[in-house]
Amino acid sequence: MMKPALFVVATMLAILRGAPAIAQPVGVTPDEIKWATTGSLGDVVVLEGDPAKPEPYVLRLRVPPNNVTHPHTHAQDENITVISGAIGFGLGSVFDRSKGRVLLAGSFFHLPANTPHFAWTGPDGAIIQAHGVGPFP
């Protein structure tokens, strides 16, 4: 049986590979964003690049309220900016909110490659933007 964190990562990667990137040389407004559903992680939009390839990418995740992402790692560095709402991040291989920190809108978080981490949202969920060099996750 697949571990929950591995299932989430595998599902997200499959959806991201099929998600259309916004390929425009100009900016995009929030009402022009076309979200794709990822399942337990909410919705995603790829703003730049292909997160499945070893190239720069920018994506946004609309994480639903009261979401829990169990401890996992990523092979590449990841940079997170909280666009709206709040999201908790913690480091370690055991999910423990008391060992984490809640990041409000406007916060930034750099996660080095292979760092075990976990996340959660409160009753309002969050929109986060992730960027780095793929493949993601």
Paired with 132 in beta bridges are 57
**Is 83 within 8 Å of 105 (Cβ atoms)?**
yes
Closest by CA position to 71, among listed 89, 101, 95, 102: 95
pLDDT in tens for each of the 137 residues of the chain? 434 443 344 444 444 444 555 554 558 898 999 999 987 778 999 999 999 999 999 999 999 999 999 999 999 999 999 999 999 999 999 999 999 999 999 999 999 999 999 999 999 999 999 999 999 88
- Phi–psi pair at 120, nearest 5 degrees: -155, 155
pTM of the model: 0.79
Q: Which domains does the chain have, with CATH numbers?
A: 4-24+35-133 (2.60.120.10)
Helix (H, G, I), strand (E, B) or coil at 108: strand
**Is 121 within 8 Å of 85 (Cβ atoms)?**
yes
